[in-house]
Structure 1
Amino acid sequence: MEMKEEQFQDKPLRLFVAVRIPESIQLLLEAWRLRNEDQLAFKKWTHLEDYHITVQFLGDAEAGRVPEITDALKRASLKINPFDLEFGSFGTFGTAEAPRVLWAGVIDQSGGLDKIYEAVTSEMGELGFAKEARPYRPHVTIARKYAGKSPFPGQNLPLLTEKNSGSGGTAEPLIWEVNEFVLFSTHLHEKPMYEILEAVQMKDS
């Protein structure tokens, strides 16, 4: 993927590495939001094109460093094979009654996300980007800042899909293959907020 000339400016870029969500599941998440946002009173909902799983937040970096970061991510990609992910249940950060973040979990049977995390943070560490001290908890942020008048209905959230099986209402699995990760630049207060600077393909097994 070619990087735009205007990306290389004097102004620092706010960068992070992430796994994108495929368009088909983006659309399911968007449909779920449209069905439920009136009942789930969050102040900010993730834009359709901004759904992702963060691997490592890098913070502010000079635009001229993007090529060396990209080269390091390509080295990291050689250590990882494509793998499958499945959406898990919803969860929250913050208090149960008024969470600050609503997220969707992911089921990673092969440990592929942990492998990406270790490979990327190792390469980024060589460039001076330290990984966070807290444990890695991959998830997809759906919304932020609950502002409802009633306590948040955490245990009674609607299912992601409308196609349910059996009387228990278990959602059908949503599974996709992860074969790349990306370097994002953040544009605060814009929609969508994240711009892809580089997409790095994993090696085939």
Structure 2
Amino acid sequence: MRAFFAVDLPTDLADRIAEVQGELRAAEGLRFTDPEQAHITLEFLGDVPDGSERGGGGESDLDAVIEAGREAVQEADVEPFIASVRGLGAFPSTEYIRVVWAGIGDGSAELTRLQAGIESRTTALGYEPDDHEFTPHVTLARMDDARGKGIVQEAIRTAEADVGSFTVEAVRLKRSTLTESGPVYETVESFPLSS
């Protein structure tokens, strides 16, 4: 299964995510994410064999990944915290746009600490670390071609894009299932923060 560690945004911010995406709707070449599934990815793992894919028997890679996530969150010793979602940006740059995102203000340090612990543990299991510095963000859209690049660049420069704040209380291991209408995410395991 395709899997990643993430912090989910509460569904009550979905309407605000949709409003921010609305400021980009005129840009051709964008594929928008589902506001109801908005999240902050901490670590993308890719394919994680879950035991059933090998006929079972013994500890699966999934069991090891769950244990790594549990230990990383405990060791990070991060208490529940407020994260604010605001501002727009693009990866890899505003000149060559592949992903349009909303940034994280408050809570960046805590998210970075959680991500570093998870990456360290999953790398020890043989999963590839990210090839770029971690930038906490919420993906709003992916750019398939550059037709709407100017509109996106202008929005990044001028849009308020203040989505709101929420309390982060847990990290989740998510399963990503690709469908014709886009990816569907399900929680496999949840790791509560220290309290």
Regarding TM over 0.5, the answer is: yes
Given that residues 42 and 136 in structure 2 are in contact (C-alpha distance below 8 angstroms), is that contact kept between their aligned partners in structure 1?
yes
CA shift in 2, pair 1:178/1:134, >3 Å: same
| Mean CA deviation greater in 35-44 or 120-129 | 35-44
- Superposed, which structure 2 residues align to 1:117-196 within 5 Å? 117-145=115-143, 147-148=146-147, 151-156=150-155, 157-160=158-161, 174-189=164-179, 190-196=181-187
Cα distance in 1, alignment partners of residues 132 and 126 from structure 2: 18
Given that residues 42 and 143 in structure 1 are in contact (C-alpha distance below 8 angstroms), is that contact kept between their aligned partners in structure 2?
no
- Superposed, which structure 2 residues align to 1:60-79 within 5 Å? 60-64=47-51, 65-78=61-74, 79=77
Given that residues 49 and 192 in structure 1 are in contact (C-alpha distance below 8 angstroms), is that contact kept between their aligned partners in structure 2?
no
Which of 2, 5, 9 does residue 17 from structure 1 map onto? 5
> Between Structure 1 and Structure 2, how many residues are aligned?
180
Which has more helix, going by share of residues? 2
SS of residue in 1 equivalent to 2:116:
helix
| Mean CA deviation greater in 106-115 or 94-103 | 94-103
Give 1:192 deviation, angstroms.
4.6
Deviating above 4 A after TM superposition, structure 1's stretches of 4 or more consecutive aligned residues are none
Which amino acid in the other structure matches residue 36 of structure 2? E
Give 1:94 deviation, angstroms.
4.7
Which amino acid in the other structure matches residue 57 of structure 1? F
SS of residue in 2 equivalent to 1:124:
helix
CA shift in 2, pair 1:127/1:31, >3 Å: same
CA shift in 2, pair 1:69/1:97, >3 Å: closer
CA shift in 2, pair 1:32/1:62, >3 Å: same
Given that residues 86 and 160 in structure 2 are in contact (C-alpha distance below 8 angstroms), is that contact kept between their aligned partners in structure 1?
no
- Does residue 1:29 correspond to 2:27, yes or no? no
Structure-1-length-normalised TM-score: 0.76
Cα distance in 2, alignment partners of residues 37 and 133 from structure 1: 28
Structure-2-length-normalised TM-score: 0.79
Question: What is the identity percentage for the equivalent residue pairs of Structure 1 and Structure 2?
Answer: 26
Given that residues 30 and 48 in structure 1 are in contact (C-alpha distance below 8 angstroms), is that contact kept between their aligned partners in structure 2?
yes
| Mean CA deviation greater in 102-111 or 188-197 | 188-197
Q: Which has the larger radius of gyration?
A: 1
Which amino acid in the other structure matches residue 81 of structure 1? E
Given that residues 81 and 167 in structure 2 are in contact (C-alpha distance below 8 angstroms), is that contact kept between their aligned partners in structure 1?
yes
Cα distance in 2, alignment partners of residues 31 and 133 from structure 1: 31
Q: Which residue of 2 aligns with 1:93?
A: 91
Which amino acid in the other structure matches residue 135 of structure 1? E
The superposition leaves residues 28-58 of structure 1 with CA deviations (integer Å, 9 ceiling, x where unpaired) of 112333x435413243100123311111111
Q: Which residue of 1 aligns with 2:55?
A: none
Cα RMSD (Å): 2.4
Which amino acid in the other structure matches residue 154 of structure 2? Q
Cα distance in 1, alignment partners of residues 95 and 169 from structure 2: 37
SS of residue in 2 equivalent to 1:111:
helix
